[in-house]
Amino acid sequence: MQDRHAYGTDSAPGEALTQGRALIQGQARLQPQAPRLRGQARLQDRHASGDPALGDRHGAHRVLRGQAPLRGQALSRDRHRDHHAPHPPKPPTPPPSGLTLLETLVVLVLVALLGTTMLQGIGFFSGQYAVAQRSNGQAFASSLRQRWFVDSVQGLHPYGMAAQRFVGDGASFAGVTLQPLFAEPGMLVRARWSIAPRGTATGAAWQVAYQEEDGAEWPIFADAEGELAFQYADAAGQWHERWPAATAPLEWTPTLIRLTSATRGDLWLARVEAAPLPLHTEATLR
């Protein structure tokens, strides 16, 4: 009983335990604030003792706080000055590279004109080249035909036998030649040149043909512009329509033979390069 009275009732230990826990919790809450409280206490002590370092530091803080608005105003003035200050001129913009649409169209038009001109020039020169080739071919063919006539006439040889003697008129002539067109050159071959009219779709044409012995007749030349004829010249240079000529009975072959046209004059002319006398006559062969 004494013990109970000394400690109180049965609930006294529980209350003491509760109070101890509350005290511990209060100390735990005050423990984080202890450094701050200690710092404040030290500051109060230094203020009370008149510490000069503390005064200077607080004065510096006050000065800095007073200068803060001044720094802001200066910064604002600098920004305003930079904003209204004249800007440096921008560097010139380089011109755009390449061609514009107008320049491209001009180039296309020029190319088209140049191409058209070139095509026209090529067509013109092609036509002129074709004309030149045709003219050259015609001239070559004409020269070749005339060369055949000259060769065969130059090879004519006087022959004393009546059957092989040279005879001619306006339409044809025949004689023995050493330069035939088809037979072996150097052989005595009787060749004949003749003129005959040939009807065509565009009208009458005169055709010159060549024939050896009894062979086929080969057309050599045709002319539709006028009548053709052969003529023969004697040693004196006089022209005859027939041969042998009445004025030159002793001449076995003519000196010149020509092909003439009624509209264009002389077409072919050849000289007979033969001996004045025949190698064989009917008298020598008896």
User: Which phi-psi region, left, alpha or beta, contains residue 100 (left: φ > 0; alpha: ψ -120 to 50)?
Assistant: beta
What is the model's pLDDT at position 108?
Answer: 92
107 CB contacts (<8 Å, ≥6 apart)? 99
Q: Please answer whether residues 255 and 235 qualify as being in contact, where contact means their C-beta atoms are separated by less than 8 angstroms.
A: yes
pLDDT in tens, 242-276: 999 888 888 888 999 999 988 888 889 999 986 66
pLDDT for residue 47 is more than 90: no
Torsion of CA 226, 227, 232, 233, to 10 degrees: -40
pLDDT in tens, 154-205: 989 888 777 788 999 999 999 999 889 888 888 888 999 999 887 655 556 7
Q: Work out the percent of the chain whose per-residue pLDDT is above 70.
A: 61
- Both tokens assigned to 184: 């072996």
- DSSP β-ladder status, 156-157 and 167-168: unpaired
- In terms of Cα–Cα distance, which of 233, 231, 259, 269 is closest to 248? 233
What is the model's pLDDT at position 257?
Answer: 95
* Range 205-221 average pLDDT: 87
Confidence of residue 2 (pLDDT cuts 50, 70, 90): very low
- In terms of Cα–Cα distance, which of 175, 168, 187 is closest to 243? 168
What is the model's pLDDT at position 39?
Answer: 61
Q: Please answer whether residues 269 and 279 qualify as being in contact, where contact means their C-beta atoms are separated by less than 8 angstroms.
A: no
- Both tokens assigned to 2: 């004494």
- Both tokens assigned to 86: 């004249």
The one-letter code for the residue type at 143 is S
Does this model's pTM top 0.85? My answer is no
- Distance between CA 181 and CA 189 in Å, rounded? 10
Q: Please answer whether residues 20 and 26 qualify as being in contact, where contact means their C-beta atoms are separated by less than 8 angstroms.
A: no
What is the model's pLDDT at position 273?
Answer: 82
pLDDT in tens, 54-92: 455 544 444 445 444 555 566 666 665 655 556 667 777
Q: Please answer whether residues 231 and 252 qualify as being in contact, where contact means their C-beta atoms are separated by less than 8 angstroms.
A: no
242 phi/psi in degrees, rounded to 5: -135, 160
DSSP state of 97: P
> Alpha helices, DSSP H only, in the chain?
2-7, 12-30, 34-49, 52-84, 101-154
pLDDT in tens, 142-157: 888 889 999 999 989 8
DSSP state of 277: S
- Bridge partners (DSSP) listed for residue 265: 261
- DSSP β-ladder status, 228-233 and 189-200: unpaired
